[in-house]
Structure 1
Amino acid sequence: MTDSPLSQAQFDAITDAAAHWCMRLHAPDCTVAERQAFEQWLDVHPLHLVEYQAMLEIWEVAGDLPRPESNIVPMVRHSRTSWRTFGMAAAVCALALPLAAYSGWNLGWLPNSYQHFEATDNVRQVTLKDGSQVELNLGSELTYSNYKDRRQVTLGKGEAFFSVSHDTSHPFVVKAAEGRIRVTGTTFNVWMYEDQVKVNLIEGSVLVSSNDDLPGDGLRLGPSMQASYRHGDYIPRISQTYDNDNSLAWRSGKLVLDDLALNEALPLINRYLENPLVIADNSTGAIRIGGIYNIKELNTLVTSLPKVLPVYLTRNKDGNPVLNSIPQQAPKS
């Protein structure tokens, strides 16, 4: 291609090619020769990379597609292609081809709108396509997809405060780690670190499930209640929140640690660190910490901990800082 303006037909051809390469590079039988041909295709025009990266975002959405019902026959059969691979491939093609996209929407497989948001160094407020408001904490990332039968958010990492627009016929679902939170209209907060998730309900009600593959809609939370779960939990753990709960202090730029054991405090701290802290042993984890900290300055907390707690710092083989308790001297006889 030359540097002259591209025609609509040329744009469409690039989009189709990007969809093709996205499917082939994710296929288990993709060959070395195909990967080399893909690299050559990328070098032909700068727009090739742009379109391919856009297809990768669509592929992430397609990864959430349900299995087709048994009475739905795929247009193309291939002995080495699984239903899930077919579904994702169809999703990529469907978003490139309007007619197929319309069919995918009606089947509830494909969204008609998609948004991706990130918050890096500052808390960020965003508005979703349905009018819902979301506040993202530092280091957070989410995507929004509007399906025919649901509004779906995937919290990739971090923390978000949701004010969901009410729509009983169009539920709002947040996927976090292995679980999900289902609402119609309410206000709540979702915190996630690695495989740990905590949901705090402010207004309305939500249904929380610890595993998206489990039957049923999950456990119902009312106002001033919270649910938490992690990998392997069959049901979430439910507890009451109180007036002095500090879970939402991040919205004011603060992390409040209210006399917590280090093994409880570290997930809250590590959420903000590039190199997470590690606890050397159980005795170190039992040491308690308190205080109010600026969420933008938590890296300085790491070096200051030995000044306020009976601990010292070392490094493990991965380069992470390790907290070690200082052995207490036996009293002199």
Structure 2
Amino acid sequence: MTEHTYSEAEYDAITDAAAHWCMRLHAEDCTEAERQAFELWRDADPLHAFEYDAMLDIWDVAEHLPRSAIAPDPAPTPVAIMPVKPTTSWRTWGMAAAITVLALPVAAYSGWNLGWLPNAYQHVQAQDSVRLVTLEDGTQVQLNLGTDLTYLNFKDQRRVILKKGEAFFTVSHDTRHPFIVKAAKGQVRVTGTRFNVWMYDDQVRVNLVEGSVLVTSNDTLPGDGLRLTAGMQAGYRDGDFSPQISQTYATDNALAWLSGKLVLDNLPLSEALPLINRYLANPVMIADQGTGRLRIGGIYNINEMKRLVPSLPKVLPVYLTQNKDGNPVLNALPQQPPKS
């Protein structure tokens, strides 16, 4: 079967269509009929899906650009194959502008000089195995299972967006270009060091092995955050005014994943489940606070976490049910009344 060769005009039309669908699907007034029409378009040709995925990457980059870079005044007309409805929010207009700017070499060069746009972009993932990658600046990153991150190189800083998962960074030293990891609403700022960032839902934990870092739980607040030195840990959740700082010890197991292990050191289920659920497509829930207080310990292979869930009733006084969303739920067994 002969593979179809696209003309430049055909390829440009597909790219324009991908940009249109990217903007429409992110718009608040996108209808179900439009979503169905998009699915028909995407499934009609593998190139459609490829171009749409590439446009999603640009959209993701645009989300982390300075607002001045994506929402100039007056708002520009977005590039699209159909006009965007007047009710579209400023954010969608701004993203459309960013898609336009990122696609134009001259505008991109100006954006780089102003510190608005990156000149290098990497999107890396680890699915079913731990993965070691080297970023454009020479930084080495070890990605845990189920990890997704994006690297952007700006004129005045290097930036990583950790979308989900866990990563250990050995940062290439560059005092003029700080290295920033954004996780949830906070960030970690360094120039060259070794540290680990774990994220699950809105929870983030930073473990520093070498050097020093500045950690903030909300990067919209003034200041550079709290300073960590080697052997310290910071944790925060979305909405926290400040991260919680603590000391780590030689027996700390936060980095056991680098050896393929998850170590649970007699933890309450309420604390252990986020560590377990990080590796599960269908997270385990707890029925109540009493169940959450039950403790669990042991050393587990991170590649075999699916086997852990059905085995929990064998090692803990619990039984499994399922909620309406299909999640397994742990329930503590009723306590037997004392014999008289």
TM-score (norm 2): 0.88
Identity %: 71
* Cα displacement string for residues 129-152 of structure 1 (whole angstroms, at most 9, x for unaligned residues): 111000111111111111122111
* Cα displacement string for residues 189-248 of structure 1 (whole angstroms, at most 9, x for unaligned residues): 001111110000001111111112211111111100000001221100000000100100
CA contact 2:75–2:93 (8 Å) conserved in 1 = no
Distance in 2 between residues matched to 1:105 and 1:311, nearest whole Å = 57
Distance in 1 between residues matched to 2:106 and 2:330, nearest whole Å = 58
Q: 90-99 or 7-16: which moved more?
A: 7-16
5+ residue gaps, structure 1: none
**Residue aligned with 1:155, SS:** strand
Q: Displacement of 1:286 after TM fit?
A: 1.4
Which residue matches 1:315? Answer: 322
Closer/same/farther in 2, CA of residues 197 and 100 from structure 1, 3 Å limit: same
Distance in 2 between residues matched to 1:147 and 1:206, nearest whole Å = 19
Which residue matches 1:65? Answer: 65
5+ residue gaps, structure 2: 79-85
Closer/same/farther in 2, CA of residues 312 and 131 from structure 1, 3 Å limit: same
Which residue matches 2:226? Answer: 219
- Cα-Cα RMSD: 2.7
Closer/same/farther in 2, CA of residues 322 and 83 from structure 1, 3 Å limit: closer
Q: 72-81 or 131-140: which moved more?
A: 72-81
TM-score (norm 1): 0.89
Q: Displacement of 1:10 after TM fit?
A: 5.0
Query: Equivalent of 1:91, from 82, 88, 98?
Result: 98
Which residue matches 2:82? Answer: none
Aligned pairs for 1:85-234 (under 5 A) are 85-234=92-241
Letter paired with 2:231 = S
Q: Displacement of 1:314 after TM fit?
A: 1.8
Q: Displacement of 1:182 after TM fit?
A: 0.9
Which residue matches 2:280? Answer: 273
Which residue matches 1:22? Answer: 22
CA contact 1:68–1:83 (8 Å) conserved in 2 = no
* Cα displacement string for residues 246-289 of structure 1 (whole angstroms, at most 9, x for unaligned residues): 10000111000111111111111111112211112222211111
**Residue aligned with 1:238, SS:** strand
Q: Displacement of 1:176 after TM fit?
A: 0.7
Closer/same/farther in 2, CA of residues 324 and 113 from structure 1, 3 Å limit: same
Distance in 1 between residues matched to 2:186 and 2:173, nearest whole Å = 22
**Residue aligned with 2:313, SS:** helix
Say whether residues 1:306 and 2:313 are aligned partners: yes
* Cα displacement string for residues 283-333 of structure 1 (whole angstroms, at most 9, x for unaligned residues): 221111111111111121111111111222222222222212222323222
Letter paired with 1:151 = R
Distance in 2 between residues matched to 1:240 and 1:23, nearest whole Å = 45
**Residue aligned with 1:297, SS:** helix
Letter paired with 1:197 = V
CA contact 1:67–1:84 (8 Å) conserved in 2 = no
Q: Displacement of 1:27 after TM fit?
A: 4.5
Q: Displacement of 1:108 after TM fit?
A: 2.1
Q: Displacement of 1:88 after TM fit?
A: 1.5
Distance in 1 between residues matched to 2:256 and 2:39, nearest whole Å = 47
Say whether residues 1:240 and 2:251 are aligned partners: no
Distance in 1 between residues matched to 2:113 and 2:236, nearest whole Å = 33
Q: 155-164 or 50-59: which moved more?
A: 50-59
Say whether residues 1:50 and 2:50 are aligned partners: yes
Distance in 1 between residues matched to 2:44 and 2:333, nearest whole Å = 61
